[in-house]
Amino acid sequence: MDYGLLPKEHHSKIPAADPKVEPYKGRKISVCEPTLRGNEKRYVLECLEKNWISSHGEFVLKFEEAFAKTVNAKYGIACSSGTAAVHMALAALHLEPGDEVILPAFTMIATVNPIMFVGAKPVLVDSEPNSWNMNVDEVAKKITKRTKVILPVHIYGHPVDMDPILDLAKKHKLHVLEDAAEAHGALYKGKIVGKLGSMGAFSFFANKIITSGEGGMVVTDDPEVADYTRGFRNYAFSKDIHFWHRFIGYNYRMTNLQAAIGLAQLEQLDQFVEDRRKNAMLYTEYLKKIPGIATPPEGPDVKSVFWMYGILVDKPYPLTRDQLRQHLAKHGIETRSFFIPIHWQKPFQEMFRGERYPVAEDLCARGFYLPSSSSLTKEQIEFVCDVVRNPMV
């Protein structure tokens, strides 16, 4: 393992390689799998019957309109991935070299890479221990004359405390782009997340709350942003002369096959959220009394969707995080370690050399998530919790 510039004292906090999951009594429980029990098949067959296999056809528009409506946005612009969605949204802001984007150190790499794609400068903030989300007080301290965007991420489906962020944005005239890739259907003070700021980015990767296989969406109320991102997604073709391009665009299109699945999934969003919340409550009920196991937070003003059910491992629990993952793997249970913070990632080590984000680092050292599919059964959850409860068998 090549840790690059990461100081030695932190090497042990980087998760061990994923343990091999052995079938237990012939069965395995995957960490997260899609549930395709609605109109997915019917809509995809309709695409095939109508020859709608590229982005030409009716499902892309239908999905965009229905999704935008769900998150109370005027426009939804579907694209090929969540990463593409973050990229398109940032591109629409026309940032300049040296412009700063504030984001949490504890997030998936897909939040930060697009900041590099557009040539802006990522500025990190630590998490706060009660929600695992970006610490709002730290955000205020990181604002400079060059700050242009605050990019909160609703980590593992738990909404960020958005009001103070929106206040800061108003005061300093900043854009707020929510990375809501993990939080479809989550509520902050009763309002659905994703378009609480000026724009939002969603992912529909196969392990998200709703999926199109691969896919993403930008949501906004701003017609100029909608127009620009639509162009960005499709080589900036001009509207009248076909091969006349307005600027340098990408091919980030979503196909009708994907949109058909996305639309069918969207129809089931409420059910998925309900299932995930019910599963999380069950897990917490079984796990909360185990010394050394911390269950995931849920703040007072929010409804988390528990995209992934994360736990933290510490003494007096007899196993380390990596050992517990091994123990679960031997029982056919797949898990995933938490994100490794951005400042520790090889491509960013030089940029953030010497910077410390202790809460993010601690989450990385102690956290992992248990199987979290919407389709989990009570028996499966009980089995997983029994294995956690009996570390020696």
Ligand X SMILES: *Cc1c(COP(=O)(O)O)cnc(C)c1O
What is the contact surface with ligand X in residues (CB under 6 A)?
Answer: 81-83, 107-108, 110-111, 153, 179, 181-182, 203, 205, 216
- Give the nearer residue to ligand X in terms of CB position, either 177 or 381: 177
DSSP 348: G
| DSSP secondary structure, 136-184, as one string | HHHHHHH--TTEEEE--B-GGGPPP-HHHHHHHHHHHT-EEEEE-TT-T
Contact 177, 149 (CB under 8 A): yes
Name the strand (E) or helix (H) holding 91.
helix 82-91
Q: Measure the CA–CA gap between 135 and 164, rounded to whole angstroms.
A: 10
3-state DSSP assignment of residue 370: strand
Numbers of helices and strands, H then E, in the chain: 12, 14
Please, what is the minimum distance in Å from the beta carbon of residue 96 to ligand X? 24
- Give the nearer residue to ligand X in terms of CB position, either 131 or 383: 131
- Give the nearer residue to ligand X in terms of CB position, either 59 or 252: 252
- Give the nearer residue to ligand X in terms of CB position, either 252 or 283: 252
- Give the nearer residue to ligand X in terms of CB position, either 57 or 82: 82
- Give the nearer residue to ligand X in terms of CB position, either 52 or 339: 339
Q: Measure the CA–CA gap between 170 and 118, rounded to whole angstroms.
A: 23
Q: Compute the C-alpha angle 43/49/54, nearest 5°.
A: 75
- Measure CA 211 to chain center: 12
Which of 147, 185, 161, 166 has the alpha carbon at shortest distance from 374?
A: 185
- Give the nearer residue to ligand X in terms of CB position, either 134 or 388: 134
Please, what is the minimum distance in Å from the beta carbon of residue 141 to ligand X? 23
> Which position's Cβ is nearest ligand X?
82
Contact 366, 312 (CB under 8 A): yes
For 280, the token pair is: 């999380």
3-state DSSP assignment of residue 17: coil
